[in-house]
Amino acid sequence: MRFARGCQLERLNTVRLHHQLRLGAVLLLLWGSGCGSPSTSNSQQKTDGGVATDAVAAPATIRDVTLLNVSYDPTRELWKALNPAFIEKYLSETGVRVTIKQSHGASGSQARSIIDGLEGDVATLSIWSDTDSLRKKGLIREGWESQFANRSLPYTSTVVFVTRQGNPRNIADWPDLLQDGLSVITPSPKTSGNGKLSFLAAWGSVIARGGSVDEAREFVTKLYSRVPVLDTGARGSTTTFAQKGIGDIHLALESEAKLEVHEANGALQIIYPQQSILHEPHVAIVDRVVDQRGTRAVAEAYLNFLYTPAGQEIIAQHHFRPTDPDVLRAHASQFPSIKMFLITDFVPDWEVANAKFFADGAIFDSIYSSASR
């Protein structure tokens, strides 16, 4: 009997202990979840971005990632509009809060900065060969051009003319740039993507009209004899022409020209030549950087955002030609039809173009030095 009574007491104590443990666990759970605590009495709180999120889960789900976008001069305003749109979308979809830093300058100089150690997660440069120079240094992968839609081209542009209001020199097409006494502003093709494209547009305009290589060389030689200053980048040339009042005509990318005219408040206007060069500014992930920093997923989402309807609409609003045909049609009045030729219409590729025209001692050096004499 004593043994049976002892067993009953032991079972009773065990049941009591289990009840005490359960009660303690419940109290601990309630205390940990904030019940009864004045500082966490609401089940939800607002994050800095104004998105409602669980007060306990937020620190675990929201994390911060920083990207650096290394781009060229005329895209400053474009990315200022694109970045916050992407940041808001990505935060709502993933809970990741992205900060995007920008670096702008002449396209060739920006490429060299990345090669020299600037840790850009993405390169959104002006010229194919500037981006491909990163591949040659092992910073981006082979086949980078096929990583995103439309050969990694979310937008395009072309070279146009900006003149003083009223077009006092009656400029209509490329041959008109050789008028006596005309002063032309364009950036240096040695450093600037805009400069390279302006030179190639001038050269190609002769070839497209059926002219010979000798005639093209003669044309650009005469043209650059009318260039009083070669700024290192596109934005520098805009300042020279629009703010300093130097020159009769400015050779500019379409997006830069529209911004320049808008900010001039009626003092300038755009002239579209009969034909010009197609500008193809590719975008790319800098593979070595994103793999080292662990930012690949965010960087890829960032560049893919450019192809969304929202991204394409922002691109059109900032005067770059969207590659989505529907968005381009919706903005047809903003982008006049112009015949565009390709660089491959007169040289095999960008590698040949750089060696033939822009390398040290190549055609540009020879014609500019002779034009300066």
The SS3 call for residue 108 is helix
Q: List residues bridging with 161 in a β-sheet.
A: 251, 271
pLDDT recorded at residue 88: 98
Q: Does domain 157-278+336-372 fall into CATH 1.10.150.20?
A: no
Does the pLDDT of residue 22 top 90, yes or no? no
Task: State pTM to two decimals.
Answer: 0.81
pLDDT beyond 70 at 31 = no
Rounded Cα distance, 373 and 361, in Å: 16
Q: Is-same-fold flag (58-153+281-307; 157-278+336-372)?
A: yes
Interatomic CA distance for residues 81 and 95, integer angstroms:
21
Q: What crossing angle do the helices spanning 213-224 and 363-372 adopt, rounded to 10°? A: 50
Region 161-187: mean pLDDT is: 97
The predicted-structure confidence for 129-142, as pLDDT tens digits, reads as follows: 999 999 999 999 99
Collapsing DSSP states into helix, strand and coil, what is residue 97? strand
Counts of helices then strands in the chain (DSSP H, E) = 16, 13
Kindly report the three-state secondary structure assignment for every residue of 155-179.
Answer: EEEEEEEEEECCCCCCCCCHHHHHC
* pLDDT, greater one: 199 or 73: 199
Return the domain boundaries, the chain. Answer: 58-153+281-307, 157-278+336-372
Q: What is the pLDDT of residues 164-173, one digit of tens each?
A: 999 999 999 9
Provide the H-helix boundaries in 154-251.
Answer: 193-208, 213-224, 234-238
| Averaged pLDDT, 294-302 | 98
Confidence band for 220, pLDDT divided at 50, 70 and 90: very high
Least confident span in 33-37, 169-173, 230-234, 345-349: 33-37
Stretch 136-162: mean pLDDT, rounded? Answer: 98
Encode burial over 159-180: b for 16+ CB neighbours within 10 A, e otherwise.
bbbbbbeebebebeebebbeee
Q: What is the pLDDT of residues 118-130, one digit of tens each?
A: 999 999 999 999 9
pLDDT (mean) for 344-361: 96
What lies within 8 Å, CB to CB, of 10 at 6+ separation is none
Longest C-alpha distance within the chain, in Å?
A: 127
Kindly tell me if the per-residue pLDDT of 29 is higher than 50: no
- pLDDT for the residue numbered 27: 33
On whether the 58-153+281-307 domain is CATH 3.40.190.10, my answer is yes
C-beta separation of 299 from 123 below 8 A:
no
Structure tokens at 209: 């009209």
Looking at every residue in the chain, the average pLDDT score rounds to 86
**Tell me, what's the pLDDT at 369?**
75
Poorest-pLDDT segment among 18-22, 106-110, 188-192, 307-311: 18-22
Own/partner pairs, 111-117, CB within 8 angstroms, 24+ separation: 113/70, 114/70, 114/139, 114/286, 115/139
Nearest CA-CA partner of 193 in 257, 128, 243: 128
Band of residue 34 on the pLDDT scale cut at 50, 70, 90: very low
pLDDT at 63: 87
